[in-house]
Amino acid sequence: MATHDVTFWFDFGSPYAYFAHRRLPAFEKATGAHVISKPFMLGSAFAQTGARPLLDIPLKAAYAKIDLARLARFYDVPFQMPPNAPTVTLAAARIFYGLNATDPAAATTFAKAVFDAAFATGQDVSEQAVVKACLRESGLDEELAAMAQEPEWKQALKDAGAKATESGVFGAPFFVHDGEPFWGVERMDMLIAKLGPVS
Amino acid sequence: MATHDVTFWFDFGSPYAYFAHRRLPAFEKATGAHVISKPFMLGSAFAQTGARPLLDIPLKAAYAKIDLARLARFYDVPFQMPPNAPTVTLAAARIFYGLNATDPAAATTFAKAVFDAAFATGQDVSEQAVVKACLRESGLDEELAAMAQEPEWKQALKDAGAKATESGVFGAPFFVHDGEPFWGVERMDMLIAKLGPVS
């Protein structure tokens, strides 16, 4: 890994990860960092740590509703919670790895389409029709949605989850730079302070 | 409550609350806000929400160790974890309410002494000798430590805990302004953005 490689761990179902994803272009510009995106299943990580989704804890869910709306204003991005959150985002994550294996730029475009579907317009990205629409919007063939059922990409996502656990990742968004962990969208500020401005 | 009254909920045993407390002078200067300090027992709040102290969750404890050291550098304040953290800070909190009833300035000075004992020099503030030293350093009689056993201040702390729960406070530091909750030291930035600079 080069010094300025930063791994970005996320779940497409995490609204806080959506904000982090929205901040990526400015983050990359400010730091010159090369961001390596790694979707994983946050629910599987929670099962290992005994944590529960924020939205399943009454007091914290009420707080998160206020906090997320505030973050949207603070970062000046559109925001709408999808129905039935937290959403299980297996298909989108598997397709991301499938695309990434041969065309990283397509995977990046697809990731943006999925995050925006989930949280800019509040759609349920666990639905195949929504995933297909994200592929089309990314200029890709909607039949690529079939990658969600291919053993190779199922395994790629499982491997990512194992790697996340091994790396001490227990939440999302979660950034790792040179072994140093940064949990939460607001810790991007500390990562920017660490990496410093582009010289 | 005046528009710029801000309630600051904390536990003297929370290192993140220590950083928030250290930021208070600059915060008050930047916003013109009047901060009302309210220590409470975070452990009691956790018992109600089913949360566990960060330091009792293996993965998160390892992360917190890195994160706290980083925050100390970021905010440029001395930092040392006390032994046996998380510390039960009943006595200090009761004495705070006892002092505050008749001499708010003394309570404020004592709070700073307790936070600094706990996290600037890493002492165990559950020990009576440490609490007495904090009183002396605040220019107060160390015999005031006896307030920790007085029913009136025991009740004041219980009442604060009940009020915290009623106000939706589930962590520390926790700020409330005009009904809007802000959880975590980094949310002070959003509160500053909301209250705006002093005109």
**Tens-binned pLDDT, residue by residue, of chain A (199 aa):** 456 899 999 999 999 999 999 999 999 999 999 999 999 999 887 777 777 777 777 778 889 999 999 999 999 999 999 988 888 899 999 999 999 999 999 999 999 999 999 999 999 999 999 999 999 999 999 999 999 999 999 999 999 999 999 999 999 999 999 999 999 999 999 999 999 876 5
% of chain A with per-residue pLDDT over 90: 80
Q: Which residues of B make CB contacts under 8 Å with A? A: 49-51, 57-60, 62-63, 66-67, 70, 74, 168, 170, 180-181, 183, 186-187, 189-190, 193
The answer to whether the CB of B54 falls within 8 A of the CB of B64 is yes
pLDDT given at position A76: 95
| β-strand partners of A181 | A176
How close B170 gets to chain A, by Cα (Å)?
7
d(CA B50, CA A141): 46
The answer to whether the CB of B45 falls within 8 A of the CB of A63 is no
d(CA A83, CA A89): 13
Q: Is the ipTM reported for this complex over the cut 0.90?
A: no
How close A131 gets to chain B, by Cα (Å)?
33
Closest-CA residue of A relative to B63 is: A181
pLDDT band for position B199 (cuts 50, 70, 90): low
The tokens of B127 are what? Answer: 């020990």
d(CA B124, CA B114): 10
CA nearest to A59, candidates B5, B174, B177: B174
pLDDT given at position A45: 77
Q: Using a CB-CB distance cutoff of 8 angstroms, which residues of chain A are in contact with residue B189?
A: 186
d(CA A66, CA A45): 25
The answer to whether the CB of B120 falls within 8 A of the CB of B77 is yes
What is the value of pTM for the model shown?
0.91
Cβ–Cβ of B180/A60 closer than 8 Å? no
Cβ–Cβ of A66/B170 closer than 8 Å? no
> How many CA atoms are closer than 13 Å to the CA of B92, on its beta-carbon side?
34
Look up residue A7 and give its DSSP letter: E
The answer to whether the CB of B24 falls within 8 A of the CB of B148 is no
Mind spelling out the 3-state secondary structure of A35-46?
EEEEECCHHHHH
